[in-house]
A and B are shown apart, each in its own frame.
Chain A
């Protein structure tokens, strides 16, 4: 496979996305040293590490499977990569305690790993890796074995934790929503080669402009397609959060701190269209202009709309579209419930 060329900046997360078998894990294996490349070089922090043995590379790498050592308990696992030093012990301890609190696993320290849940194991695996203070972090589909609610919760925390480490991270996945949740930049890997690399914002802009490359991106992935919107939290009370996207006020479920920026995903299937303003139980209604209508599947169409500066897509049956006569250029209202948006990012 290859050639592959990647560049990640400090304090940033690159999400490498691609279908199963595209070689994502191999890329990580080469960077970590588990697999030898035929040619090329790896430079971390200005130092060429290509010739270094695995153990000297100061790389953090979590496998898809947490791979916690069965013969050690949680705390021994976490400290496995740390060389015990006499001096500065107390400072290290305080720091680590903070990390464990952050991840929410402080209560697990003396437990055997055999009793942990999937989510707990991934957290321990993460802690074990972070504790070694790596210069670069590699993560291989850490949440693929978890159920969706756990995964979503962990993913939110993950970005927070990774940003605090302030080292470059490469996160490999085949789920598109991981991109929205975690990425600062995105790379698409297909058949062993990088087909596309961009920063997230640029990618979103391109999408708005209907860049065919992005369409290609969406179509190759096995996950849900989503409408990604970002906004600032205005108000959050009683499980309902109001945030503004551009000039529009939208509502989503959950409690988030006022003033923080959140990113949400709304599924195209969840957006209902109406020719007029109607009062429904749905909390969100925005005015939009139909930019284009494309065919998604037999009898199903995607209605691409523009709302102010951003772009959303609704997926309805052809029959429904014809029923209310929606066509390109029309003014239309997009409606969705407060429960539809999935908050994928919070900072």
Chain B
């Protein structure tokens, strides 16, 4: 009787999962339809593609580093300081870049960093838009919730008694943060970083507003599509997919490590 029930349940799960998998992977079949293998190498060896890819990778990395520097302390604050007036507002603010359509974020950022803004007046030499700096600004804004929310969750899962005992043992708040809180939250933060990085690389809408040039790989795909349709954009798209696969592998490796981490920490 029990065996029969399990069988029905298994089937249920498998069917629904199967539909989900097909749904996600079917668009990739389009690539196979549209790809022109003879032109593939030619298209990929265009200098724009290479520089767009490198630009995306580098800017995403810098963006992620910046997000770590500023986002991790913020997430610690959100995780630990519970009795803060206006805490609710803060939590909403942190999610805004996630909720806003990227084009809207880009337009708003343009208001802050655009050619006629007070900020630009203060720093006359610096090109905030249509430059690598513009790309980084767009990416950082859009990817910030990933870093902050993941890290916040990671810190929240660190029992405060670890921090307490560290302080009792004589460590200052700074030492406790770096020697206890951060190492224990490490895997969650790393996952947050990976997600931020991936989001930054895939970013298009805000980047289009802040820095259409120089082209990131996402914009290169966009432009190649505008020029010659899907056929023209396929090589870039394939490149982006390979990049995604690599990022996903790293993500799963980190998540696996986190699960082991958690299992070991249960008393």
Contact = CB atoms under 8 A, between A and B. Distances in A.
Question: Do chains A and B directly touch (beta carbons under 8 Å) in the complex?
Answer: yes
A34 interface: yes
Given A69-B180, A70-B184, A34 B164 contact: yes
Interface string B245-262: 000000000000000000
B265 A70 contact: yes
A65 B161 contact: yes
B267 interface: yes
A132 interface: yes
A170 B173 CA distance: 26
A71 B170 CA distance: 18
A-B pairs, top 8 by smallest CB distance, nearest first, are: A81-B169, A54-B167, A70-B265, A61-B168, A114-B264, A67-B165, A71-B183, A81-B170
- Give the bracket for the number of chain B residues in contact with chain A: 20 to 34
Contacts of A132: 169-170
B178 to A, nearest CB: 12
B166 interface: yes
Nearest to B263: A114
Interface of A: 32-34, 53-56, 58-61, 63, 65, 67, 69-71, 80-81, 83, 114, 128-129, 132
B199 interface: no
B165 A63 contact: yes
A60 B161 CA distance: 14
B166 A65 contact: no
Main secondary structure of the interface of A (DSSP, over half): loop
A70 B266 CA distance: 9
Contact of B168 (A32, A65, A69, A114): A32
A55 B167 contact: yes
B171 interface: yes
B162 interface: yes
Contacts of A129: 169
B162 A67 contact: yes
Contacts of A71: 183-184, 186
Contacts, number: 56
27 contacts: A34-B168, A54-B164, A55-B167, A55-B168, A55-B170, A55-B172, A55-B173, A60-B168, A61-B165, A63-B164, A63-B165, A65-B161, A67-B159, A67-B161, A67-B162, A69-B166, A70-B264, A70-B265, A71-B183, A71-B184, A71-B186, A80-B166, A81-B169, A81-B170, A81-B171, A114-B264, A128-B169
Interface of B: 159, 161-162, 164-173, 179-180, 183-184, 186, 264-265, 267
Contacts of B184: 69-71
Given A69-B180, A70-B184, A70-B264, A63 B161 contact: yes
Contacts of B159: 67
B169 A80 contact: yes
Nearest to A113: B264
Contacts of A60: 168
A129 B172 CA distance: 16
B158 to A, nearest CB: 10
Contacts of A65: 161, 267
Contact of A69 (B162, B172, B173, B186): B162
B80 to A, nearest CB: 14
A70 B158 CA distance: 11
Contacts of B164: 34, 54, 63
| Centre residue among A54, A58, A81 by max chain B CB count within 10 A | A54
A8 B49 CA distance: 75
Contacts of A128: 169
A114 B169 CA distance: 21
A91 B179 CA distance: 26
Contacts of B180: 69
